[in-house]
Structure 1
Amino acid sequence: MGTTGDRETLHIFYDGSCRLCLASVKRLKELRSSAELLFIPLQSLDGDAARLYPAVAALPKETLAAKMHVADGEGRLYAGADGIVRILRTVPGFRLLAPLYRLPGMKRAMDALYRYIANRRYEWFGEADESCESGACALPVRNEPKEGG
């Protein structure tokens, strides 16, 4: 994890079986971000993912499935509403809204709203069985440092 050139890289781990999550990823890909956003469906986290994303792979599957997780270049993890705010901090126009999250009571309210929607996402939006077809769940290609250089 880290930066790509001068751009920060954010790794976004989401439920690839969730129609709401898939629609959110599609919308996020359309936004102009100052960061490189890499989207990784939870369904792709297997043996290689443990090596590439150890902090995320160490979390219990139930914890990962309950909320979207965002990992920044420093290895910090942001989950749920914290993750959304972390992404929005990189998007012009939305960047100005991020400080509102620090207002007294706002974090608690946003976390509660996130959990309420996340707990009902399949009931309200449905499950996408085709989420991993055509390699959609493949891990993104990363540039690994060369040995000895």
Structure 2
Amino acid sequence: MNDTKQSGAERLYVIYDGYCNLCLASVARLKELRSNADLQFVPIQQLEAEGEGQQLIPNIGQLKYAELYEKMHVADESGQLFAGADGVVRVLRTVKGLRRLAFFYRIPGMRKIADRMYRYVANRRYEWFSKTEQSCSVNGCELPQRRGENNKHGN
């Protein structure tokens, strides 16, 4: 369970593709992990539906939705955006047990390698992991059901 509701915790907004099965699985896993930040998960589709991200993410400037679909973005409370591998590392730094992984990102050359790996997977995410039929941004989403289960999940 995510222990991020404590007062004074840094708030990070994780902006992800609500149609991407890899993104949805990653968000579901992050919600289970303990973070010292208040992680808010915002599907791109919800930002588009609202018309302006400023209503959901304070201090955020004008968003370019085409760029948001290319990479996951993380926004901090000041509105600074971290995209792709930078965003992943920004979140990892807050998650108990994964903070040490963020250290490797500081090794010379690792940022470039991590960014290339991120782009390689991101460009193939629908091909490799497919898409959901609907975004989880409105009224939750339905995950594939196992026999006898009703898997209705919301954000």
- What is the TM-score normalised by the length of structure 1? 0.82
Question: For 1:88-103, what aligned pairs fall within 5 Å after superposition?
Answer: 88-103=92-107
Structure 2 equivalent of residue 26 of structure 1: 28
User: 1: distance between equivalents of 2:55 and 2:29?
Assistant: 29
| Cα deviation, residue 96, structure 1 | 1.8
1:118 pairs with one of 102, 105, 122:
122
User: 1: distance between equivalents of 2:132 and 2:38?
Assistant: 26
**Structure 1 residues 52 and 133, CA gap change in structure 2 (3 angstroms):** closer
| Cα deviation, residue 54, structure 1 | 6.6
1:43 pairs with one of 35, 45, 64:
45
The percentage of counterpart residues that share the same residue type is 54
| Cα deviation, residue 134, structure 1 | 5.6
Structure 2 equivalent of residue 109 of structure 1: 113
Cα pair 2:53 2:63 within 8 Å, conserved: no
Q: Does 1:8 align with 2:1?
A: no
Which protein is richer in helix relative to its size? 1
**Structure 1 residues 62 and 34, CA gap change in structure 2 (3 angstroms):** same
How many correspondences in the alignment? Answer: 136
| Cα deviation, residue 62, structure 1 | 1.1
Please identify runs of 4+ aligned residues in structure 1 that moved more than 4 A: 54-57
User: 2: distance between equivalents of 1:111 and 1:60?
Assistant: 20
User: 1: distance between equivalents of 2:71 and 2:96?
Assistant: 24
**Partner amino acid for 2:41?**
F
Partner SS, residue 105 of structure 2: helix
**What do residues 13-40 of structure 1 show as CA deviations (whole Å, max 9, x unaligned)?**
0000000000000001011001111100
| Cα deviation, residue 97, structure 1 | 2.0
If asked which structure has higher relative contact order (CA below 8 Å, sep 6+), I would say: 1
**Partner amino acid for 1:112?**
R
Could you tell me which runs of 5 or more consecutive residues in structure 1 were left unpaired when the two chains were aligned: 141-149
Could you tell me which runs of 5 or more consecutive residues in structure 2 were left unpaired when the two chains were aligned: 142-154
